Amino acid sequence: MQLLANTTSPFVRIARTAMIEKGIDLPPTLVDPWADDARLRAANTAARVPTLLLDDGTPLTEALLIVQWLEATRPAPDWPSLLGPASQVAGVLARTGIAVGAIEASTITIITRKVTAPALFDETAVGLRRRRSMVEGMQRLEAQAEAIATTGVPLLDAIAAVTLYDYQQLRFGDQPWLPATPRLKALAEAWNTRPSFAATRPYLAT
């Protein structure tokens, strides 16, 4: 198995954290998705990370599809469920959706800056719309933070919320519009002591 990844992508982090929790602690194969890496191009027509190459060569793409594969192939009770008991799944997925929406707005902002440079995409009408998605997504998750467990095996909502919080700090930590989210901060601090989170924290490669 090979995980094509980079050091910053929040989608990579969701997939990697989930994989580690399901017992697959695979050192990532670092690629630059923007450099048209041949391995990435061959495996994923979208040329994006994460891309997980299974042992039989099957390429899995899209972070949440990788999570689906993990849930299907390593199900509870032999493996921890990332969705929790049936009565909690809707809430877990609803909170995950909020986090993923804000994560997508963040990565679109970072990616589209490459298109519009030297003009800053962030201040355009669409850029401001994406900012609103980030701000409102973080605020809504902050309001629901107490529903996200902080101990035991993390569920998908915890993985996505911490991934969002840390990515926002990395990319937009100096921006005045970034809302204060003390509950999400505490959630991130709690989970980042766990190996699957600590090993996947994003950093800017030099």
Q: What residues make contact with ligand GSH under the rule CB under 6 A?
A: 9, 11, 33, 47-50, 62-64, 107, 111
| 3-state secondary structure at position 60 | strand
Nearer to ligand GSH, 60 or 142 (CB): 60
Sheet holding 59-61, edge to edge: 29-30, 2-5, 51-53, 59-61
Nearer to ligand GSH, 64 or 190 (CB): 64
Nearer to ligand GSH, 62 or 71 (CB): 62
Stated as kind and residue range, the H or E segment containing 93 is helix 86-116
- Tell me how far apart the alpha carbons of residues 7 and 13 are, in angstroms, rounded to a whole number: 9
Q: To the nearest whole angstrom, how small is the minimum distance from the Cβ of residue 59 to ligand GSH?
A: 12
- Tell me how far apart the alpha carbons of residues 81 and 66 are, in angstroms, rounded to a whole number: 14
Q: To the nearest whole angstrom, how small is the minimum distance from the Cβ of residue 182 to ligand GSH?
A: 26
Q: Please state the separation of Cα 47 from the chain's center in Å.
A: 17
Q: To the nearest whole angstrom, how small is the minimum distance from the Cβ of residue 178 to ligand GSH?
A: 19
- Rounded to the nearest 10°, the torsion over CA 62, 9, 112, 127 is 100
Q: To the nearest whole angstrom, how small is the minimum distance from the Cβ of residue 3 to ligand GSH?
A: 12
Nearer to ligand GSH, 62 or 136 (CB): 62
Residues near 20 by beta carbon (within 8 Å), at least 6 away in sequence: 195, 196, 199, 200
Total length of the chain:
206
Q: To the nearest whole angstrom, how small is the minimum distance from the Cβ of residue 186 to ligand GSH?
A: 26
- Rounded to the nearest 10°, the torsion over CA 64, 66, 71, 74 is -160
Nearer to ligand GSH, 49 or 159 (CB): 49
Nearer to ligand GSH, 9 or 81 (CB): 9
Q: To the nearest whole angstrom, how small is the minimum distance from the Cβ of residue 110 to ligand GSH?
A: 8
Task: Supply 59's token pair.
Answer: 């390429």
